[in-house]
Amino acid sequence: SNGLAAGALMVRRGEAEIGVAGNLSSTANVIRAGLRMIGTAAGSKTVSSFFFMLKDNRVCMFTDCAVIPEPTSAQLADIAISTADVYKRVMGDEARVALLSFSTKGSAKHERVDKVRAALDEIKTREPNLLVDGELQLDAAVVPEVAQLKAPGSPVAGHANVFVFPSLEAGNIGYKAVQRSSGALAIGPVLQGLNKPVNDLSRGALVQDIINTIALTAIEAQ
């Protein structure tokens, strides 16, 4: 819409520092306006999203839960690197990235598992100092005892704080399942990969959701 394009153009020109939209528009239209007017960030060809998941003073990130239905291995690498960078900037702590799958370290063989392994290889080439491992099942990523059994010696298993889902289907179902079953606060989706901070709201967003998204987008802008 003209309103979305005008808002994104203001951010591009520096007339506004951040953009937040979507309570009256679809995610696709918000992203389209951002791509057309702002473009992708240097070093990234991928626009994706993440959620901050908050529960009992523990903060982790789920990605991508809102944008790319079937990410390629290169897109998974982009998503992982971008999300880890946000985690470090917002939390001031080291990101430990788990590339999730239905397999842990070769326990299953499938082309979807191969895609996750290829993403790991690319991440290690591009960001050799990033703490990342895969492919990991969710229990191996979060439970130290399971990690010892399934992925001994992993720098991430049992202690992950950034969870990269292999598809939008898995990510969207995963964050909603955790949110609804555990009562975790899910803040997002927050867009990443654009050259300036622009974020999307759900059309069912409550006032508090809008405030949370504005606050996070402002942090991104710093």
Q: Is beta strand 58-63 parallel, antiparallel or unpaired with respect to 48-55?
A: antiparallel
Helix (H, G, I), strand (E, B) or coil at 27: helix
Q: What is the pLDDT of residues 171-201, one digit of tens each?
A: 999 999 999 899 898 887 888 887 777 777 7
Hey, which residues does 184 pair with through a beta bridge? none
How far apart, in whole angstroms, are the C-alpha atoms of residue 22 and residue 66? Answer: 13
Hey, which residues does 54 pair with through a beta bridge? 59, 185
Q: How many residues does the chain have?
A: 222
pTM score? 0.84
For position 192, what pLDDT does the model report?
84
For position 150, what pLDDT does the model report?
95
Portion of the chain with pLDDT greater than 90, in percent: 51
How far apart, in whole angstroms, are the C-alpha atoms of residue 204 and residue 24? Answer: 9
Are 36 and 5 spatial neighbours (Cβ–Cβ below 8 Å)?
Answer: yes
How far apart, in whole angstroms, are the C-alpha atoms of residue 217 and residue 211? Answer: 10
Q: Tell me the pLDDT of the chain (222 aa) as tens digits.
A: 588 877 778 877 777 777 777 677 777 777 777 777 776 777 667 889 899 999 998 999 999 998 899 999 999 999 999 999 989 988 889 999 999 999 999 888 999 999 999 999 999 999 999 999 988 999 999 999 999 999 999 999 999 999 999 999 999 999 999 998 998 988 878 888 877 777 777 777 778 888 888 887 777 766
Q: Which long-range contacts (CB under 8 A, 24 or more apart) does 41-46 make?
A: 41/193, 41/194, 41/195, 42/195, 44/78, 44/82, 44/193, 45/74, 45/78, 45/193, 46/71, 46/74, 46/75, 46/78, 46/79, 46/82, 46/193
